[in-house]
Amino acid sequence: MNTSRTLATAARVLRQLRHDPRSIALMLLVPCVMLLLLRYVFDGSPRTFDSIGASLLGIFPLITMFLVTSISTLRERTSGTLERLLAMPLGKADLILGYALAFGTLAVVQSLLATGLALWALGLDVVGSPWLLLLVALLDALLGTALGLFVSAFAASEFQAVQFMPAVIFPQLLLCGLFTARDNMQPVLEKISNVLPMSYAVDGMGEVLKHTDVTANFIRDALIVALCALLVLGLGSATLRRRTA
């Protein structure tokens, strides 16, 4: 891996995204809009918003980063840009980390906006530190970025990239413990939920919601989400080929 090449790749991706205001709006504004709608859906029951708002603060960034990253990376693959880049003295690690760094930068901004809105404008009541909420939201956004980079290798069109969302995101959404405690699920589904990264994202947000201090469970949950993101990034680099289909 070459640091200068990685940074150059990240800068190129950011320059391209700068000319795509719709993607930027999707990444930065949609999670905020969803949280705003959720707050006023439960306007008569603010405790309900407190109980699920923290979890969704992590889930919304994951979903939006997955969508934008998968579609943007697919454009690079189908246009031949990736093939031309790989023909240069640019390692796979430089390329995949450059993309991750570019989208990760936007993930930081997205997480700051969504967390700030939830805590200081919408009155989300949490016991723990707001910085821990921000950390989990950022890890979730990075996980969405990694998943998007990975699945872009298996789609032939932007429509197919969007179709991966029901296969990759929706099962995690249903099994993550947002709608019911995981130990109340059918045993097979509970075991499946125990290996899905979104489950630990929701658990991590729950720890911040209930505890003033950093707990061992929070550290475990944050590490699992971070390791899953790194693992998926590694798998994504394996999908890069010298010749595109």
The answer to whether the CB of 82 falls within 8 A of the CB of 244 is: yes
The answer to whether the CB of 162 falls within 8 A of the CB of 66 is: no
Q: Spell out the residues 6+ positions from residue 221 whose beta carbon is closer than 8 angstroms to its own.
A: 136, 200, 201, 203, 204, 207
Residue type, 55: S
C-alpha span between 71 and 92 (Å, rounded): 19
Tokens of 25: 């709006």
Per residue in 6-33, pLDDT (tens digit) is 888 888 888 888 888 887 887 888 888 8
pLDDT tier for residue 212 given thresholds of 50, 70 and 90: confident
Predicted pLDDT at 88: 65
C-alpha span between 152 and 222 (Å, rounded): 25
Average pLDDT along the chain = 83
> Which 3 state secondary structure label does DSSP give 205?
helix
Per residue in 58-87, pLDDT (tens digit) is 788 888 888 888 887 787 777 766 666 666
Q: Is the alpha carbon torsion for 127, 131, 137, 143 positive or negative?
A: negative
Per residue in 148-158, pLDDT (tens digit) is 888 887 877 77
pLDDT exceeds cutoff 80 at 124: yes
Tokens of 163: 């179709």
User: What percentage of the chain exceeds 90 in pLDDT?
Assistant: 15
Q: Is the pTM of this model over 0.85?
A: no
Tokens of 187: 């045993």
Closest by CA position to 6, among listed 97, 142, 107: 97
pLDDT exceeds cutoff 50 at 245: no
Predicted pLDDT at 82: 65
Give the residue carrying structure tokens 């016991």.
127
Predicted pLDDT at 85: 64
